[in-house]
A and B are shown apart, each in its own frame.
Chain A
Amino acid sequence: MRDKRGNVHFGAIYGIAAIIVALAAGIALFGNRADAATTSNAGTGHSHDLTINQPNTLHVSLTDPEDLVPVDELPVVKGVLGFAPNAAPAPDRDYRAHVEVVLDVTEKVMRLADGVEYRFWTFGDTVPGPMIRVRHGDYVTFTLRNHPDSLMPHNIDLHAVTGQGGGAEATLISPGQQATFSFTALHPGVYIYHCATAPVGMHIANGMYGLIVVEPKEGFKPVDKEFYVVQGDFYTKGDFGERGLQDFDIQRAIKEDAAYVVFNGSVGSLVGENALFADVGDDVRIFFGNGGPNLTSSFHVIGEIFDTVNVEGGRLVNHDVQTTSVPAGGAVMVEFKVNVPGTYNLVDHAIFRAFNKGAVGQLVVVGDKDPSIFTERTDIRPFDPASEQ
């Protein structure tokens, strides 16, 4: 590579580099084959499993013939996304499918609060990123596209994924690149997804998270209204409300000293004309996630009691719950019937966050009053302890 005059001959280095690239590609292919072989052998290695000779079939359930349909014979459907506060529509089918999901990554300045702007890093131009909803057992081909105008590499870790980093390694892409990987949704539940590129905390703190819901095969019970809300904590140089384009403050993030704690990416995103609306008598379901990065949410709806809570987004169902704890990187599904008209505040019941850092949303319930359940104030008069004795 070097001649007598001491000059390096880079032609040779290009050649070597090209060989390295080719080798790496070969290793990648070989690696995949090896994985596939391991997977198809796994079923025969355990007597309690079904013996599955077809590769790429799912054996999470021993009773469902649909799980045995090879992936390449599954009907291909486009994933439909839901943009907060609207939940993605439930899968309208009772069979396993090959779902194609595409998500774009952008970096853009958006409103964090009135007069306060922030350079968010986003999935799908929004914070939270779009809600993804698939069916238990679906084979999902996921494509992540990093916009050419991005300045950072990004990727995605879907907590609904069983496999390396939830797809993080497979989707690490520089600006102007896209990457695709596939997974089978082995577990029903409500899951966070987030960017997992170093520094992970910074990517999450800039708004890169959302929910992926894996619907049970029998589906969730029908309700009248479904909403999509994700909490996040933000760390800005300026304190809460300080105007202008605010820079990310790393020291503040490390100290977990959030300047903002908000629902759906900004102060007031669910307030006033942006409030959630329901009618008296409606059954309401909220898919609630906590993107983090740091704080655990004490999710509460003031004046309501959750009829059911799918604890941590899983299959454990609790009833008659006032406040549910949602860890950073966790989610929950709550359901309640709205019996009384009025405005209900959604809060993080770590209450200074609600009233001083932004974690307030509103559910406005419209309809007839029912005094047998709740009356407004019926009486007001002076209280004189002396006269009462």
Chain B
Amino acid sequence: MTSTARTLSRTLRLVVAIATAWLVGSAAAAPNMVSVKGGDVELLFPVADEGPTLVAPFSIDVVPVTNADFLRFLEAHPEWQRGNVPEVFANENYLAAWPAELGLGDLDPAAPVTGVSWFAAAAYCEARGGRLPTEAEWEFVANAGYQGPRGRDEPGFNERILVLTANRSHQPGPVGQGDANFYGVKNLHGLVWEWVFDIGSSFNTGDSRSEGDRRLQLVCGGGSAGAIDKSDYAAFLRYAFRAGLNGAYSSGGLGFRCAV
């Protein structure tokens, strides 16, 4: 690619990023959110040969949405209660751990809510005036270490995430424990998996002309063929998890947080 073409490509990506930011909204950050300036993020599987993905400024929750948060949402939006939600928006595992439609029982109110579908998570964020973070935004924040924006530069970072991820519990403890990362965000690794806005992007190319190609990279020998950093095993786990999802799915290990 010539330098002119490179500049043009970068300009185009900037325009796309700004347009995306406009499209998904930019309401003021809530008190429990942090503002992130954005910038380039090296996704594990970059789109074509375009290099780093540009992330526009956004805000994101410091911690995942809790059981107590979601209970309040269900009280205000009965259409998302277990007995009311249509099957296409939530499968039979939706909030399966809840003893009652509007009761947490022994569940920790401060623990992250799990067992929610993509549709329910998206509706929750919309009700709060926000949305789910895009995959690029989530990865941008999650790639940060504790001292700087590139965790991979910090010794033992990848191994630490890997262990947290592999040994995480199905009964997650309360949100907010542990250190905040460089951006002031907590619990990105080791508490629960988290929904992102564009789950499909893990297995579609940007223009959807070669559907499935990226998903195929996550199975069998293709797993590392297109990956930017073959040592980033924690990212492989995240991408593989997203590749197995559809919007109505829910599981005891999968929660979410919101962005604007």
Contacts and interface: CB of A to CB of B under 8 A. Distances in A.
B240 A198 contact: yes
A362 B245 CA distance: 45
A199 interface: yes
Contact of B219 (A18, A196, A250, A251): A196
A148 B243 contact: no
Contacts of A201: 233
Given A200-B223, A254-B231, A174 B249 contact: yes
A42 interface: no
Given A151-B166, A198-B237, A200-B219, 6 more contacts: A17-B247, A149-B170, A151-B170, A168-B219, A198-B218, A248-B166
A20 B218 CA distance: 21
Residue among A20, A151, A169, A254 with max Cβ neighbours from chain B (10 Å): A151
Contact of A148 (B23, B24, B93): B93
Contacts, number: 132
A36 interface: no
B75 interface: no
Given A148-B93, A198-B236, A251 B168 contact: no
Nearest to A169: B219
B246 A250 contact: no
A7 B27 contact: yes
A197 B219 contact: yes
Contacts of B163: 247-248
Interface of B: 23-27, 88-89, 93, 119, 122-123, 126, 129, 131, 158-159, 162-163, 165-168, 170, 193, 200, 211, 215-221, 223-224, 231, 233, 236-237, 239-241, 243-247, 249, 251-254
Contact of B236 (A155, A199, A248): A199
B221 A8 contact: no
Contacts of B123: 10
A200 B220 contact: yes
A148 B215 CA distance: 22
A200 B119 CA distance: 30
A197 B233 contact: no
Given A2-B25, A176-B93, A199-B236, A8 B219 contact: no
Contacts of A157: 219-220
A173 B211 CA distance: 18
Contacts of A175: 251-253
Contact of B218 (A21, A150, A172, A202): A172
Interface string A227-260: 0000000000000000000011111001000000
29 contacts: A6-B27, A8-B24, A8-B131, A14-B119, A24-B211, A148-B252, A149-B252, A150-B253, A151-B165, A151-B166, A152-B241, A153-B241, A166-B220, A169-B216, A172-B219, A172-B240, A172-B244, A175-B253, A196-B223, A198-B223, A198-B237, A198-B240, A200-B219, A200-B223, A247-B166, A247-B167, A248-B166, A249-B159, A251-B159
A250 B162 contact: yes
A13 interface: yes
B8 to A, nearest CB: 28
Considering residues A8, A172, A201, which has the most beta carbons from chain B within 10 angstroms of its beta carbon?
Answer: A8
Contacts of A152: 166, 237, 240-241
Contacts of A166: 220
Contact of A21 (B162, B165, B170, B247): B247
Given A175-B253, A254-B231, A155 B168 contact: no
A198 B219 contact: yes
A14 B89 contact: yes
Interface in A144-196: 148-153, 155, 157, 164-166, 168-169, 172-177, 196
Given A17-B247, A172-B218, A153 B240 contact: yes
